[in-house]
Amino acid sequence: MTDPTSPLPQQNTLPARVDVLVVGVGFGGLAALHRLRTDHPELQALAIERGEGAGGVWRENDYPGAACDVPTSLYSLSFAPNPDWSHTYGRRHEIHAYLRSVAADFADQIEYNCALTSARWDGDAQEWIVATTRGEIRCRFLVAAPGALSEPGLPAVPGADEFTGTMFHSAQWDHSHDLRGRRVAIVGTGASAIQIVPEIVDTVGHLTVFQRTPAWVVPRVDRNIGPLERTLYRRVPGLHRLVRRMVWTYREAYVLMMARNPKLLPIAKSIALAQLRVQVRDKNLRRRLTPDYTIGCKRMLLTNKWFPALQRNNATVTGAITRLTARGAVDDAGREHELDTVVFATGFTPTQPPIAHAITGRDGRTLAEAWAGSPRAYRGVEVHGFPNLFFLYGPNTNLGHSSIVLMLEPQAYYMSKAISELARNGHSAFEVTESAQERYNADLDPELERTVWNSGGCSSWYLDSTGRNSVMWPKFTSDFRRMMASFDAADHRFDDAIPVASTTAGDTTAPATDSDTERTVAP
């Protein structure tokens, strides 16, 4: 969350009240704005965004080499297909440009440089009172779309205040800091680190990678999408959709490996080990780069450039960082490395989202207090005690195998559907019952227990502080889409004090079949 004291424009140009307030303009926020415009033109919807522009995680993460490790065919909103991707795996700058271009269509509904600082449910008025860096705004429905991978997770390394060099997190890259010739450390070996290291190794004087746990790395089969192919996609949208569906189908099969049948994992392991053997000839280094947990337990990393970069003459792989000193950092063998710059590629805090501390529900508890370290929701978007709140990219909606966009659009669809139900029945507020939320999680938890994320012998950001997997969705994206296509009134309690204006224009009748669903939600 943006520091409320940061120098943002102070004049309040916000309306006093809107029907729906969307917080965050990344993929999730844009999916919500689209659904609201399409299904509920009668409602006044506004989005606020803490940044100067749209893009969410793709605005924040602008480190060297930032790119997508999910095929770009799946990395666009279904209502805004993009035939112009340059590669099968999109580069960060083009994904960011794509999101900004989609957001331009909603320009009159977005307030940038406006961060939520708190939100409180007013039970008497049946609405949310939202404080922002630009003043207060009230809304009937609050749609939180903060994303999961924008808030830097900075480890508390002893001695950090002694270090006299430059330090920053990968998601807050200091572009004013020239790395040429410098002694640079990268802390971490996750998806961010493996993209950064090959990009900077030839620029820096010396690169030290502090590796606490080696990662399973598989080849990245990327290719240019030439002008002819792009023209074809533009002129024959059906072909573009067909390619998207084919890519979606084969990526769905990954779930079988990670969540259903771990016996298939050795296939991925043998591919990873083959790449390691071919690219790393030094047996000692190879041993240090070989993980001891089951492949897939942490996110499998896609790159052909990581191992070659680690073997450059000016690169060193060492153990975990234990402390910082005035001159550098000490590894777990007690050796001090002299450094000018330390980059923390140490990930994010998705199970402790800062916005959860800012949202206070019906009984005066914040979301963070209700979750007590282990986020739980109903269908990933609703939380008992928090009426009229939709939390996009909420608990157990992340994927290990496909595009998050395929999960966000059904969530936006569900939001729209719920609002329609409320309007139709003359209710003013709804809230999932405690028993429905408990039942939902009681069904989900055993499914998660069987997955490689829970049982693969690693620690990862999928597991929260209680050890529970509150991040991943363990089934197919089509299962999620089907679940989100209907709103179950029996799982909710309703308030009737101030009805939402009933309208047929806002009807989002449940799609009966997959092909109907495709009209509204990806793929």
Select the span of 66-74, 252-260, 276-284, 417-425 touching ligand NAP (CB under 6 A). Answer: 66-74
55 binds ligand NAP (CB under 6 A): no
Select the span of 225-233, 339-347, 364-372, 373-381 touching ligand NAP (CB under 6 A). Answer: 339-347
Q: Residue from 232, 239, 256, 320 that binds ligand NAP (CB under 6 A)?
A: 320
Query: What is the nearest approach in angstroms of ligand NAP to the Cβ of residue 247?
Result: 15
> How far apart are the C-alpha atoms of 509 and 445, rounded to whole Å?
30
Q: Convert residues 225-264 into a mask of x (bound to ligand NAP by CB under 6 A) and - (unbound).
A: ----------------------------------------
Query: What is the nearest approach in angstroms of ligand NAP to the Cβ of residue 72?
Result: 11
Q: Which is nearer to ligand NAP, 187 or 521 (CB)?
A: 187
Instruction: Please check whether residue 151 is in contact with residue 176, taking contact to mean a CB–CB distance below 8 angstroms.
Output: no
In the region spanning residues 160 to 179, those forming contacts with ligand NAP, defined by CB under 6 A, are: 170
In degrees, to the nearest 5, what angle opens at C-alpha 142 toward C-alphas 139 and 148? 150
187 binds ligand NAP (CB under 6 A): yes
Query: What is the nearest approach in angstroms of ligand NAP to the Cβ of residue 416?
Result: 27
149 binds ligand NAP (CB under 6 A): yes
DSSP element (H, E) containing 19: strand 17-23
321 binds ligand NAP (CB under 6 A): yes
Q: Residue from 87, 212, 475, 482 that binds ligand NAP (CB under 6 A)?
A: 212
Q: Residue from 42, 62, 69, 445 that binds ligand NAP (CB under 6 A)?
A: 69
- Return left, alpha or beta for 181; rule: phi > 0 is left, psi -120 to 50 is alpha, else beta: left
62 binds ligand NAP (CB under 6 A): no
Burial of residue 123, with CB atoms counted within 10 A of its CB: 0-12 exposed, 13-18 middle, 19 or more buried: middle
Distances (CA, A) of 427 to 122, 186, 217, 415, 490: 16, 53, 51, 15, 14
Q: Which has the closest alpha carbon to 268: 198, 310, 215, 196?
A: 215
189 binds ligand NAP (CB under 6 A): yes
In the region spanning residues 103 to 142, those forming contacts with ligand NAP, defined by CB under 6 A, are: none
Distance of CA 289 to the CA centre of its chain: 27
291 binds ligand NAP (CB under 6 A): no
Q: Which is nearer to ligand NAP, 47 or 193 (CB)?
A: 193
Q: Which is nearer to ligand NAP, 74 or 423 (CB)?
A: 74
Q: Residue from 113, 318, 341, 346 that binds ligand NAP (CB under 6 A)?
A: 346
199 binds ligand NAP (CB under 6 A): no
Token pair belonging to 467: 């050890």
192 binds ligand NAP (CB under 6 A): yes
Instruction: Please check whether residue 390 is in contact with residue 367, taking contact to mean a CB–CB distance below 8 angstroms.
Output: no
427 binds ligand NAP (CB under 6 A): no
Distances (CA, A) of 521 to 51, 97, 245, 406, 488: 27, 22, 13, 7, 19
DSSP 467: S
Q: Which is nearer to ligand NAP, 317 or 489 (CB)?
A: 317
**Helices then strands (H, E): number in the chain?**
16, 20
Q: Residue from 2, 117, 166, 213 that binds ligand NAP (CB under 6 A)?
A: 213
Instruction: Please check whether residue 30 is in contact with residue 155, taking contact to mean a CB–CB distance below 8 angstroms.
Output: no
Distance of CA 194 to the CA centre of its chain: 18
In sequence order, the 6+-apart residues with CB closer than 8 A to the CB of 473 are: 380, 396, 397, 398, 399, 407, 480
309 binds ligand NAP (CB under 6 A): no
71 binds ligand NAP (CB under 6 A): no
Q: Which is nearer to ligand NAP, 47 or 289 (CB)?
A: 289
Token pair belonging to 51: 């940044």
461 binds ligand NAP (CB under 6 A): yes
Burial of residue 84, with CB atoms counted within 10 A of its CB: 0-12 exposed, 13-18 middle, 19 or more buried: middle
Select the span of 31-39, 182-190, 249-257, 487-495 touching ligand NAP (CB under 6 A). Answer: 182-190
The phi and psi torsions of 360 (rounded to 5 degrees) equal -110, 125
Residue nearest to ligand NAP (CB): 190
Token pair belonging to 279: 């690219």
Q: Which is nearer to ligand NAP, 70 or 355 (CB)?
A: 70
Q: Which has the closest alpha carbon to 289: 317, 312, 322?
A: 317
In degrees, to the nearest 5, what angle opens at C-alpha 448 toward C-alphas 443 and 452? 160
- By the criterion CB under 6 A, which residues form the site for ligand NAP? 67-70, 149, 155, 170, 187-193, 195, 212-213, 299, 320-321, 345-348, 459, 461
